[in-house]
Amino acid sequence: MLFFPFFEEKLDLKVLRELCFSGIPFEGGIRALCWKVLLNYLPLDQMIWDSFLKKQREVYSQFLKEMIIQPGIAKANLGLSREDVTMEDHPLNPNPDSKWNNYFRDNEVLLQIDKDVRRLYPDMAFFQRPTDYPCQLILDPQNDYETLRRRVEQTTLKAQTVDRNRSGVTNVSSPGKALNLYPSNEYEVLPSGCEAHWEVVERILFIYAKLNPGIAYVQGMNEVVGPIYYTFATDPNNEWKEHAEADTFFCFTNLMSENRDMFIKSLDDSQCGITYKMESVYSMLKEKDMDLYMKLQEQNIKPQYFTFRWLTLLLSQEFLLPDVIRIWDTLFSDQDRFDFLILVCCAINEPLPPGQTRVHNPRLTPYPIPQVC
């Protein structure tokens, strides 16, 4: 089944945006296809899609080789010979150009990514399930290298509970296991040869951080890439689904190129920074609903109390995933998508009519949507 705009060899972006603004059908992989166009990944000329996608996916494979596999091979061999540890370069060398220093710096980023992606959408099992298309380049047994999985395992210190009596140590156990803090295996790494969806997201974010050292990884990016990856990885068309990782990476990169300034602390107070955007929500609210604006002012409810997360994460934590995806259909379709986001934030602020209550999403912490009557 083809969505109307795809009947033409060259897409009319204006028509596509108008049709997608009111919601995109999931059937036939239409939503995933539309998002790839709306996020400026797929060109408008469908005749060059095959060659374009082949090239982009080869580029992504090269990223994997250069930033995960080859450094992993080097690290696997690092320290095996005396030449790896010299007076000029050693594990305690603070020089920014030191290969040891770069490795440890990358590990800090990786550990933060790992921590965040393991708890991505914990209210649904999808991200803990194995992907149907694990990356063969990464899992190839011929590649004897230090994987991201191994780097995390070797770097993370596992806490243990030690019981003692007068004779000395009697028992050592994991506190999580002893106290039943982890009642299921949903956050555990899958057996060798399998990959969970969260591991794919972890790899995407690590590659992005390596390619964009100026911003690297900021907590919350996992919430932005998650819905994109979910949409592509559940595509009913297996030919597209197989390449969900590479396609997600490029779509996420394009989206972040528009949104990245809100993640850079040094730009917070600039016109493209998060502070300006948060104030824009209140300015718009003042224009659209002076009474509500004045009520928020009287109660000293500042925009940073709730709009920071709404804006940086594109409302991805304020609603359940199906609702987030529907909102993003419209958000991606709007040419001025971040101006439209400000309008949505103002609409969320609007009080409900008498007798109606807003369904509170348990993911909203620590600040619920302010209700002003």
Residue 173, helix vs strand vs coil: strand
User: What pLDDT is attached to residue 207?
Assistant: 97
**Under 8 Å between Cβ of 279 and 241:** no
User: What pLDDT is attached to residue 363?
Assistant: 40
- Cα–Cα dist 113/106, whole Å: 11
Crossing angle of the two packed helices 244-259 and 49-64, in degrees rounded to 10: 90
* Displacement of CA 341 from its chain's centroid (Å): 18
- The answer to pTM > 0.85 is no
Token pair 């057996």 is found at: 191
Q: What percentage of the chain's residues is helix, strand, coil (to nearest 5)?
A: 55, 5, 40
User: Quick one: which H or E segment has residue 200?
Assistant: helix 197-211
**Under 8 Å between Cβ of 29 and 238:** no
Full DSSP string of 87-138: SSS-TT---TT-HHHHHHHHHHHHHHHHHHHTTSSTTSSGGGSBPSS--HHH
- Among 321, 259, 310, CA closest to 284: 310
Outline where DSSP puts E strands in the chain.
161-165, 168-173
User: What pLDDT is attached to residue 71?
Assistant: 77
- Among 187, 110, 118, 190, CA closest to 152: 110
User: Quick one: DSSP state of residue 82?
Assistant: G
- Cα–Cα dist 234/244, whole Å: 9
Per-residue pLDDT of the chain (373 residues; tens, 9 = 90+): 445 567 788 999 999 999 999 999 988 899 999 999 999 999 999 999 999 999 999 999 999 999 988 876 766 565 544 445 454 554 555 556 656 567 778 889 999 999 999 989 988 899 999 999 999 888 877 767 778 888 888 766 554 444 444 444 445 444 444 334 333 444 567 887 889 999 999 999 999 999 999 889 999 999 999 999 999 999 999 999 999 999 999 999 999 998 888 888 777 777 778 888 889 898 999 998 899 889 989 999 888 888 889 999 999 999 999 999 999 999 999 988 888 899 898 888 665 555 544 444 434 333 333 343 3
Cα–Cα distance list, 201 to 71, 115, 223 (Å): 20, 12, 10
How many helices (H) and strands (E) the chain has is answered by 17, 2
